[in-house]
A and B are shown apart, each in its own frame.
Chain A
Amino acid sequence: MEEAIIIEKSVIIIAVFALTMLMAMYSTLAERKIAAWLQDRVGPNRAGKGGILQPLADGLKLFAKEEFVPNTPNKFLFFVGPAISMSMALMTSAVLPWGDKLHLFGRDIILQATDIDVALLYVFGVLSVSVYGIMIGGWASNNKFSLMSAMRAASQMISYEVAMGLSIIALIMMTGTLSIREIALGQNGMNWNVFYQPVGFLIFLICSFAEANRTPFDLAECEAELIGGYHTEYSSMKMGFYLFAEYAAMFISSTILAVLYFGAYNYPGMDWAEKNWGVNIANVIGIFVLFIKICFFIFFYMWVRWTIPRFRYDQLMRLGWKALIPLSIANIIITGIVMLLVD
């Protein structure tokens, strides 16, 4: 049985890894295509049919670029920065459920790399560490613009992590568990958490934008004032890693949004499908449903990017500390009162 578990988990981990990479790759194309469409342009359409090979061309280009290392005393840190960014973006996916379970070879296979009971804490832990990727990269670049941008990014991410954590507390109070699998299971039917925690969802959504360094919170990459931001000095595949990590993080945070608030892999009529068509088919549909939700959120990220202009730094801090944190605390209190009243 031990070998079976190892094989099963390896397959899931590799599949999730491949999926994350693929999604990150094609997010870059989707970003450019959607940006173009929203601006009444056509977008990249030369590489492959309709530009379908554009991510490969981009990757090839990045590999072919000169590997530039600035004159810095922290060469090791300069290499570690993008590596941290990338690995942290990928590590979060370990605790995310991609479906309930499949029944194959006489075994129930849980569609999750690992189901730890403090999964939400794990996610927040990994998110906190991902600040270091940017911070170390910006520090080791030995460039004042990189450093300033890294400081901005770090303070932004730390500020919004507070509001994010507080917004999730209301959800934890409601579901009574830290395990993401149980949260997903609890949303069976149409009991999506977004209907019970709309304010919490809104706060979480805004904070996700800030955590992923996406517009309107992309102060770290202010071209006008900070050149390229914290990856000014990076080139070739190290630069590619930063960009790629950003898209991987976007995919993961879309998944978290879908799993925590939008009913994960649940869809209306899942119980009926499970009864009539069997567990496997019901769950395969569930995986696709989750995928559609994730794609919607990725699209939403891009949609917002071309709608809202960037915040000024003081506006960003005011929104984070003076609006979102009090709001999420109020949300916790109100959730608590309502829970007591309902009981």
Chain B
Amino acid sequence: MAIETISLSGKKKEVSNKKMNFWESLYLIAIFKGLMITIKHLFKRKVTIKYPEQTRSLSPVYRGQHTLMRDDEGRERCTACGLCALSCPAEAITMKAAERKPEEKHLYREEKYAEIYEINMLRCIFCGLCEEACPKQAIYLTKSRTMVKAQTDREDFIYGKDKLVMPLDMAIKNTQNQAAN
């Protein structure tokens, strides 16, 4: 067998320029076949997702907006160790640590906490390495659908603790749910 005629996939077709016979040259049969192909599509299921009414389901590994978790007593978990900032490939995270005062025991779990914790949303690539690096399970990437809002000022993309820390009432609700279970 000549090498040119071998078809490993079985899909190879010889191109031929043979002259069409009379019926083929009328194209009527070809046109009829074409019409049958197009009419089949008329009854096919449409794949369009009608966006505002329907939304695509998220991937199971979807990573959205960050949140700084609280523990079940409502205290911030973050101890400002800086491992998240170290692991961040985009260098989006900065923080400043502070020492906990005795009267702040109900606010922070560890003796050291993050006084300032900022993520630059223009830099963040939502890779989730901060979540993996965190020894205190303080930072998580949520399944939130809210995207980073468009702003006119670069400074507005730097999210501080006001946006990142989990709201207190949400933490309370979580604790109550856990207690109920």
Q: Write out the residue numbers on chain B whose beta carbons fall within 8 Å of the beta carbon of A37.
A: 41-42, 46
Q: Is the CB of B46 within 8 A of A303?
A: no
Q: Is the CB of B50 within 8 A of A39?
A: no
Q: Is the CB of A34 within 8 A of B42?
A: yes
Map CB proximity to A onto B39-56 as digits: 1 under 8 Å, 0 otherwise: 101101011101000000
**A244–chain B nearest beta-carbon distance, Å:** 26
Q: Is A124 an interface residue (CB 8 A)?
A: no
Q: Write out the residue numbers on chain B whose beta carbons fall within 8 Å of the beta carbon of A304.
A: 35
Q: Which A-B residue pairs are the 9 nearest by beta carbons?
A: A42-B48, A307-B38, A307-B34, A37-B42, A38-B38, A38-B41, A307-B35, A42-B46, A40-B44
Q: Is A45 an interface residue (CB 8 A)?
A: yes
Closest chain B residue to A309 by CB distance? B34
Q: Is the CB of B46 within 8 A of A40?
A: yes
Q: Is B8 an interface residue (CB 8 A)?
A: no
* A window 20-53: CB within 8 A of B: 34, 37-42, 45
Q: Write out the residue numbers on chain A whose beta carbons fall within 8 Å of the beta carbon of B39.
A: 38, 303
Q: List 22 A-B contacts (CB under 8 A).
A: A34-B42, A37-B41, A38-B38, A38-B39, A38-B41, A39-B41, A40-B41, A40-B44, A40-B47, A41-B46, A41-B48, A42-B46, A42-B48, A45-B50, A202-B28, A303-B35, A304-B35, A307-B31, A307-B34, A307-B37, A307-B38, A308-B34
**B100–chain A nearest beta-carbon distance, Å:** 57
Additional pairs, 11, CB under 8 Å, beyond known A34-B42, A40-B41, A42-B50: A37-B41, A38-B41, A45-B50, A202-B28, A303-B35, A303-B39, A306-B38, A307-B31, A307-B35, A307-B37, A308-B31
Q: Write out the residue numbers on chain B whose beta carbons fall within 8 Å of the beta carbon of A40.
A: 41, 44, 46-47
**A225–chain B nearest beta-carbon distance, Å:** 24
Of B38, B41, B48, most A-chain CB atoms within 10 Å: B38
Q: Write out the residue numbers on chain A whose beta carbons fall within 8 Å of the beta carbon of B42.
A: 34, 37-38
> A41–B31 Cα gap in the complex (Å)?
23
B interface, CB within 8 angstroms of A = 28, 31, 34-35, 37-39, 41-42, 44, 46-48, 50
> A331–B64 Cα gap in the complex (Å)?
72
Q: Write out the residue numbers on chain B whose beta carbons fall within 8 Å of the beta carbon of A34.
A: 42
> A238–B41 Cα gap in the complex (Å)?
35
Q: Is the CB of B38 within 8 A of A303?
A: yes
| Chain A contact residues: helix, strand, loop or mixed | loop
> A41–B41 Cα gap in the complex (Å)?
10
Q: Write out the residue numbers on chain A whose beta carbons fall within 8 Å of the beta carbon of B48.
A: 41-42
Q: Write out the residue numbers on chain A whose beta carbons fall within 8 Å of the beta carbon of B44.
A: 40
Q: Write out the residue numbers on chain B whose beta carbons fall within 8 Å of the beta carbon of A38.
A: 38-39, 41-42
**B51–chain A nearest beta-carbon distance, Å:** 11
**A53–chain B nearest beta-carbon distance, Å:** 17
* A window 183-212: CB within 8 A of B: 202
> A45–B52 Cα gap in the complex (Å)?
13
> A39–B46 Cα gap in the complex (Å)?
9
Closest chain A residue to B43 by CB distance? A37
* A window 271-310: CB within 8 A of B: 303-304, 306-308
**B25–chain A nearest beta-carbon distance, Å:** 10
> A205–B28 Cα gap in the complex (Å)?
13
> A254–B48 Cα gap in the complex (Å)?
32
Q: Write out the residue numbers on chain A whose beta carbons fall within 8 Å of the beta carbon of B34.
A: 307-308
**A28–chain B nearest beta-carbon distance, Å:** 18
Q: Write out the residue numbers on chain B whose beta carbons fall within 8 Å of the beta carbon of A307.
A: 31, 34-35, 37-38
Closest chain B residue to A45 by CB distance? B50
**B69–chain A nearest beta-carbon distance, Å:** 42
Q: Write out the residue numbers on chain B whose beta carbons fall within 8 Å of the beta carbon of A41.
A: 46, 48
Closest chain B residue to A36 by CB distance? B46
> A37–B50 Cα gap in the complex (Å)?
15
> A308–B34 Cα gap in the complex (Å)?
8
**A5–chain B nearest beta-carbon distance, Å:** 45
> A306–B37 Cα gap in the complex (Å)?
11
Closest chain A residue to B45 by CB distance? A40
> A202–B28 Cα gap in the complex (Å)?
10
**A55–chain B nearest beta-carbon distance, Å:** 21
**A173–chain B nearest beta-carbon distance, Å:** 24
* A window 114-170: CB within 8 A of B: none
**B26–chain A nearest beta-carbon distance, Å:** 9
> A307–B28 Cα gap in the complex (Å)?
13
Map CB proximity to B onto A294-335 as digits: 1 under 8 Å, 0 otherwise: 000000000110111000000000000000000000000000
Q: Write out the residue numbers on chain B whose beta carbons fall within 8 Å of the beta carbon of A202.
A: 28
**A205–chain B nearest beta-carbon distance, Å:** 11
Q: Write out the residue numbers on chain B whose beta carbons fall within 8 Å of the beta carbon of A308.
A: 31, 34
> A308–B30 Cα gap in the complex (Å)?
10
**A44–chain B nearest beta-carbon distance, Å:** 12
> A308–B48 Cα gap in the complex (Å)?
25
Closest chain A residue to B46 by CB distance? A42
> A307–B35 Cα gap in the complex (Å)?
6
